[in-house]
Amino acid sequence: MKIFLDTANLAEIKKAVDIGICDGVTTNPTLIMKEGKDYKKTLKEICSIVKGPVSAETVSLNAEGMVREGKEFAKIAKNIVVKVTMTPEGMKACRMLTKSGIKVNTTLVFSANQALLAAKAGTYLVSPFIGRLDDIGEKGTELIREIRQIYDNYGFKSLILAASIRNVEHVKEVAMMGADIATMPFKVYEQLFNHALTDKGIKMFLDDWQKLQKQLKK
Ligand code: E4P
């Protein structure tokens, strides 16, 4: 499973790229608003740091507008993927952008049927939102299992990008359910590395190393 960062924060992206585990980035208007910077400039900087797909979200509500915005985003860099919303207009835009050679990420997907439609429209990525389903009392990760089964049943090539991930348990569950990609906030990414026994083990090895040095000096 590929690991994407769900952020527009350049410092966070640089840290993950430096570690060497950052297969791509997803952004949305909310994440860009948090950074308070120009969207296109920020995307250009992100694309200069990350080799993998970088998703840029359109804000038009009609297909023509989404296509126009998408084509502008696509000029920024080769690895731009254009986000369109899961609506009839979004799917129309998905077909048009895909036909013109621009990759699409269908966002705001909350049901298996929506994911089926996105695949039929030729989307490159489909983004089911796990955390927001949990927020309304549903089991968000179950949606990944359903979409995986449907895509496998019919050989759809669209990649399942588990989005709206809130914790490390989400990451493990979507990996077990066969998501192709998980996109997550940097805080969750950092937590993936942690385990109390790893910290305890490091401390024990260092303490014993110090003890050995003292013994050797005697
Ligand atoms: C990513 O593409 C999505 O926009 C993002 O994961 C949404 O996450 P949220 O539900 O935490 O806002």
Q: With 90 as the cut, is the pLDDT of residue 218 above it?
A: no
Give Cβ neighbours of residue 119 (< 8 Å, ≥ 6 apart).
126, 150, 151, 154, 156, 157, 158
Cα–ligand 1 centroid distance for 6 (angstroms) = 7
Q: Which region holds residue 184: left if phi is over 0, alpha if psi is between -120 and 50, else beta?
A: beta
Q: Which residues line ligand 1 (CB under 6 A)?
A: 6, 26, 28, 107, 127, 129, 131-132, 163-164, 183
- Number of independent structural domains in the chain: 1
Ligand 1 centre to CA of 100 (Å) is 27
Residue 107 main-chain phi, psi, to 5 deg: -110, 170
Q: Ligand 1 centre and the CA of 5: distance in Å? A: 10
- pLDDT tens digits for range 42-52: 999 999 999 99
Closest CA to 76 of 53, 96, 94: 53
User: 146 with 112: CB under 8 angstroms?
Assistant: yes
**How far is CA 200 from each of CA 102, 139, 190, 192, 204, rounded to the nearest angstrom?**
48, 33, 18, 17, 6
* pTM score: 0.96
Residues 54-98 have pLDDT tens digits of 999 999 999 999 999 999 999 999 999 999 999 999 999 999 999
Give the per-residue pLDDT at 134: 98
Residues 165-210 have pLDDT tens digits of: 999 999 999 999 999 999 999 999 999 999 999 999 999 999 999 9
- CATH assignment of the domain containing 173: 3.20.20.70
Q: Per-residue pLDDT tens for 130-150? A: 999 999 999 999 999 999 999
For residue 28, the ligand 1 atom closest to its alpha carbon is 4
Q: Which of 41, 83, 92, 217 is catalytic?
A: 83
pLDDT value of position 71: 98
User: What is the pLDDT at residue 169?
Assistant: 98
The mean pLDDT of 17-27, rounded to a whole number, is 98
Rounded to a whole number of angstroms, the distance between the first and last alpha carbons of the chain is: 52
Which whole number is the average pLDDT over 4-23? 98
Q: Ligand 1, atom 2: nearest CA belongs to which residue?
A: 26
CA 183 – CA 160 distance, rounded (Å): 11
| Domain extent at residue 70 | 2-217
